[in-house]
Structure 1
Amino acid sequence: MKIEEVPQDLKYCEGAVMRDQNYAVDEEGRYHMVKSDGWAPKNDALDLALEEDKDKEERSRMAMRTSTDFQGFELPLSHQPSAHCENGAISTLLRYYGIELSEPMIFGLASGLFFVHLPFIKMSGMPVTAFRTFPGVLFKRITKLLGIKTETRRYLSQERAMKALDHILIDQKTPVGCVVGMFDLPYLPPEYRFRFNGHNICIIGKDEKSNHYCVLDSNATQKVTISREDLMKVRFAPGGTYPLLGQMYWIKSVPEQLPDMKTLVVKSIRKTCWYMVSQPGFIHIAGANGILYLSRRIRTWEQTMGARRAKLNLAQLIRMLEEIGTGGAGFRFIYGAFLQEAAEKTGLSFLNDYSVRITEIGDLWRVFAYKASRIIKKRAGENYTYDDLADLLQVIGDKEKAFFRELAEAVR
């Protein structure tokens, strides 16, 4: 995706502090992070999902409450937007300890790129499809790789969870990452709120008088605040794919010297390639095999589910593919930016060629999302079918299989 192609289809973001961040290339093929006001295929998918949403009545009563005024204890951390929430939260925690790693480097070093289609795990009653590792894995991987000591806690008691947060934040003067549910986040536009319990934010301050916390949400354009009551609610959000139990995480100590970057890059690329193409054949739901598996399944959706249900499944797939800021490429653009930056930092110039190739694959994922959205909301002269989508997924799956096999060979 080129910079001029970054979508600016403002609809649900108007008047909100939330904006998508996309990775796109300039005329020379260099990656940049570019702000986006939304994407029409995602809006189409969201429109359909909202029509069927059992929480529609509750959402209609919601008001977006955005406060950026904060007075109280606050750690010296600036706000930096990112394309994805967990990358952004990790970046914030690392920056506090003087470790400057870009979002693409965090994502790539943590071997965050993945694919899995899980028909037996449901979100909003429909199968989960993931284009990256599961929430929480990135933090564990990147800190282990860098030799950083961390701690993650979950709680049965809401009050204990909040007291523990205050202790780490105020007494130990340490920023804290929290995993929260999106449905009750007050500064999100109501239309963006669905029961996904895997959003990451970073708590960096507290005003004891107002009982509000200062939040760095990397999908926002600036610092925001949240009340103690609201923060407790989203930390223990019900529903979703799994219970949250007040999950929070933080860094305890960092090494005096970080490991050699070239060694880390090669190791992480090998691991990503293994996840994508070296899974046993019987694990047909994951990696490039998973893309081909989805291709076979999607071909039968309309016949087996009926037109309405098939469209709802497409809508969920588009939302997971876009997942706030990936540009509709399922994190392929972020990985392309990682390979490009890794080539600069390590001298492994051949990684630039692979950056170009994964960018082209990301563009195909965007075409898939566009065609899927046209099935959801037909336009004159555009008559795409589920067979068309299945055929395109077959092409993408074959290309990703070849890409990761060749990349693995190149870094051997």
Structure 2
Amino acid sequence: MLIENVAFPGGRHCETTTLGALLRHEGVGLSEPMLFGLGEGLGFVYWDARNMAFPFLGGRTRPATITRTVADRLNLTLHVQETTSPGRAWRNVTTALAAGRPVGLQLDCYHLDYFSTKVHFGGHFVALYGYDDSQAHLVDTAEQGGTVTTTLASLARARGERGPMTARNLSYTVARPTELPELGDAVRAAIQGNAHAFLNPPIANLGHRGIAKAARQVTRWLDRSTDPARDLPLAAALMERGGTGGALFRAMYRDFLAECATIVDDDNIPLGHRLYADIAPLWTEVARHITEAGQTGDPDRLIRASALLDDLAAREHQAMQVLSGVRPR
């Protein structure tokens, strides 16, 4: 069976692409930057656990929080199901599809047939809109092909994988309310909420404090890696092309603020937009220096990346202080 009119052309980030596809089927057509911003998605994490081969720089909040926050902001009915049973997991999906609703899935993209780069990542999202005897029909990001298929067996493995960021066969549907809340009010609340979280991280690895920590740690990365020519360019590629929309999600948040400035009359928003318009290219420059350090083994590249990160910690702190001044009407 297939549900018609489930798509999100040009999606760059997996969770917002999935949510966008589900909402368009409900008749709610919001841009990807708007979904990211309403979901209070901008963040930062410097992640270097003992079982990790190399540190990870992340630019957004935890998986599924964007979807849950957008649902709260827009008064959507979000129905989430998790189970350790593969059989029940599939029944959860087929029941929703039979009722005419496409389904969001969180899974490990390593097992999906159409992924050419085989890396375990348990925080990947797709929208499932149909299946036949052997194939599942999915919506993924434009980079991964947009509307794609994978075998039912590979989908089951992807959903059932265990490890960092994975969920227990998580699936969800969304339904719009009879009347959506006023978008300007939702925008104001989301900007203020994201700013508060970024400015008040609970640990030093997160938010503006996490960027400052990355500035201190990145100079050690050539020694930290067993294969710098592999590890450093990969870390940089995830910042620029790993579903972030560029510049570690800063380009997407910049575009969100530009759209908000046309909806909400608050001087803090265009100022925040200008600040993030200056910030985004600096993240791209950080990624370039990290890549070149891995390619050349030159530690000076990491010293330059460190200086930029130090500057970015201060710039983003300032930008979020400005945006924290956005208040409800």
TM-score (norm 2): 0.91
Q: How many residues align?
A: 327
Report the Cα distance in structure 2 between the residues aligned to 1:322 and 1:277, rounded to whole angstroms: 24
Report the Cα distance in structure 1 between the residues aligned to 2:106 and 2:251, rounded to whole angstroms: 24
Letter in 1 for 2:118: R
Secondary structure of 1:108's counterpart equals helix
Q: Which position in structure 2 is the counterpart of 1:258?
A: 180
Letter in 2 for 1:263: D
With over 3 angstroms needed to count, the CA separation of the structure-2 counterparts of 1:308 and 1:206, relative to structure 1, is closer
Report the Cα distance in structure 2 between the residues aligned to 1:341 and 1:398, rounded to whole angstroms: 25
Report the Cα distance in structure 1 between the residues aligned to 2:246 and 2:177, rounded to whole angstroms: 37
Secondary structure of 1:300's counterpart equals helix
Alignment of 1:3-42 (within 5 A): none
Q: Which position in structure 1 is the counterpart of 2:157?
A: 233
Q: What does the per-residue CA deviation read over 1:32-73, in whole Å, with 9 as the maximum and x for residues that have no partner? A: xxxxxxxxxxxxxxxxxxxxxxxxxxxxxxxxxxxxxxxx43
Q: What does the per-residue CA deviation read over 1:13-32, in whole Å, with 9 as the maximum and x for residues that have no partner? A: xxxxxxxxxxxxxxxxxxxx
**Which blocks of at least 5 consecutive residues in structure 1 are unaligned?**
1-71
Report the Cα distance in structure 2 between the residues aligned to 1:205 and 1:388, rounded to whole angstroms: 49
Q: Which position in structure 2 is the counterpart of 1:143?
A: 71
Structure number with greater Rg is: 1
Which structure features the higher share of helix residues?
2
Q: Which position in structure 1 is the counterpart of 2:321?
A: 405
Q: After TM superposition, give the deviation of residue 222 of structure 1 in Å.
A: 3.9
Q: Does 1:179 align with 2:95?
A: no
CA contact (8 A) 1:74 1:214 kept: no
Secondary structure of 1:259's counterpart equals coil
CA contact (8 A) 1:321 1:330 kept: yes
Identity %: 24
Q: Which position in structure 1 is the counterpart of 2:200?
A: 278
Report the Cα distance in structure 2 between the residues aligned to 1:410 and 1:138, rounded to whole angstroms: 20
Q: After TM superposition, give the deviation of residue 166 of structure 1 in Å.
A: 0.9
With over 3 angstroms needed to count, the CA separation of the structure-2 counterparts of 1:104 and 1:364, relative to structure 1, is same
Report the Cα distance in structure 1 between the residues aligned to 2:247 and 2:14, rounded to whole angstroms: 16
Q: What does the per-residue CA deviation read over 1:155-202, in whole Å, with 9 as the maximum and x for residues that have no partner? A: 2111221122111112x111100112111111121xx22011111110
Letter in 2 for 1:287: G
Q: Which one of 290, 312, 324 corresponds to residue 396 of structure 1?
A: 312
Q: After TM superposition, give the deviation of residue 244 of structure 1 in Å.
A: 3.0
Q: Which position in structure 2 is the counterpart of 1:98?
A: 27
With over 3 angstroms needed to count, the CA separation of the structure-2 counterparts of 1:271 and 1:310, relative to structure 1, is farther
Q: Which position in structure 2 is the counterpart of 1:291?
A: 211
Decide which moves more: 290-299 or 316-325. Answer: 316-325
Q: Which position in structure 1 is the counterpart of 2:261?
A: 343
Q: After TM superposition, give the deviation of residue 235 of structure 1 in Å.
A: 1.0
Report the Cα distance in structure 2 between the residues aligned to 1:79 and 1:336, rounded to whole angstroms: 20
Alignment of 1:89-238 (within 5 A): 89-120=18-49, 122-123=51-52, 125-170=53-98, 172-189=99-116, 192-207=117-132, 210-219=133-142, 220-238=144-162
Q: Which position in structure 1 is the counterpart of 2:280?
A: 362
Report the Cα distance in structure 1 between the residues aligned to 2:206 and 2:102, rounded to whole angstroms: 34
Q: After TM superposition, give the deviation of residue 323 of structure 1 in Å.
A: 4.8
Report the Cα distance in structure 2 between the residues aligned to 1:402 and 1:242, rounded to whole angstroms: 30
Decide which moves more: 289-298 or 77-86. Answer: 77-86
Report the Cα distance in structure 1 between the residues aligned to 2:326 and 2:26, rounded to whole angstroms: 34
Q: After TM superposition, give the deviation of residue 386 of structure 1 in Å.
A: 2.4
CA contact (8 A) 1:122 1:241 kept: no
CA contact (8 A) 1:181 1:237 kept: yes
CA contact (8 A) 1:121 1:128 kept: no
CA contact (8 A) 1:112 1:132 kept: yes
CA contact (8 A) 1:328 1:369 kept: no
Secondary structure of 2:136's counterpart equals strand
Alignment of 1:35-50 (within 5 A): none
With over 3 angstroms needed to count, the CA separation of the structure-2 counterparts of 1:79 and 1:301, relative to structure 1, is closer
Q: After TM superposition, give the deviation of residue 326 of structure 1 in Å.
A: 3.0
CA contact (8 A) 1:126 1:316 kept: no
Decide which moves more: 362-371 or 215-224. Answer: 215-224
Report the Cα distance in structure 1 between the residues aligned to 2:50 and 2:123, rounded to whole angstroms: 15
Letter in 2 for 1:213: A
With over 3 angstroms needed to count, the CA separation of the structure-2 counterparts of 1:337 and 1:309, relative to structure 1, is same
Secondary structure of 2:274's counterpart equals helix
With over 3 angstroms needed to count, the CA separation of the structure-2 counterparts of 1:350 and 1:407, relative to structure 1, is closer
Report the Cα distance in structure 2 between the residues aligned to 1:309 and 1:175, rounded to whole angstroms: 42
Q: Which position in structure 1 is the counterpart of 2:303?
A: 387
Letter in 1 for 2:256: F
TM-score (norm 1): 0.74
Report the Cα distance in structure 1 between the residues aligned to 2:56 and 2:243, rounded to whole angstroms: 18
Q: After TM superposition, give the deviation of residue 408 of structure 1 in Å.
A: 1.6
